[in-house]
């Protein structure tokens, strides 16, 4: 089973890694949590909200949060 980091949509993953220089602590924390979890529900709403800031599309609904990830 893939972890959340492996399932993260490529455009979000790219933005996340590209922002590491600007937000090193935030990105490092998100990368760790994404690599340790396989279920979206294991993440806090705060972490998912922070992650949504790296999405090229606006994320405001729960369904859009789930859409940040590819299927297993």
Q: How far apart are CA 18 and CA 38, in angstroms?
A: 23
Neighbours of 29 (CB within 10 A): 13
Residue 72 has pLDDT above 90, yes or no: no
72 lies in some domain? no
Which is more confidently placed, 71 or 7? Answer: 7
| Domain that includes residue 14, residue range | 4-66
Question: How far from 11 is each of 47, 70, 71, CA to CA, in Å?
Answer: 18, 12, 15
45 lies in some domain? yes
38 lies in some domain? yes
48 lies in some domain? yes
pTM strictly above 0.85? yes
Strand partners, 69: 8
**Structurally, how many domains does the chain consist of?**
1
71 lies in some domain? no
pLDDT tens digit sequence for 13-25: 999 999 999 999 9
Question: What does residue 47 show for φ and ψ, rounded to 5 degrees?
Answer: -65, -40
pLDDT tens digit sequence for 20-54: 999 999 999 999 999 999 999 999 999 999 999 99
């Amino acid at each position: 089973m893939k972890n959340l980091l492996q399932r993260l949509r490529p455009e979000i993953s790219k933005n996340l890694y590209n922002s590491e220089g600007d937000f090193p602590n935030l990105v490092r924390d998100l990368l760790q949590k994404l690599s340790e979890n396989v279920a979206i529900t294991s993440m806090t709403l705060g972490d998912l909200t922070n992650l949504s800031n790296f999405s090229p599309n606006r994320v405001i609904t729960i369904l859009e949060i789930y859409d940040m990830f590819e299927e297993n």
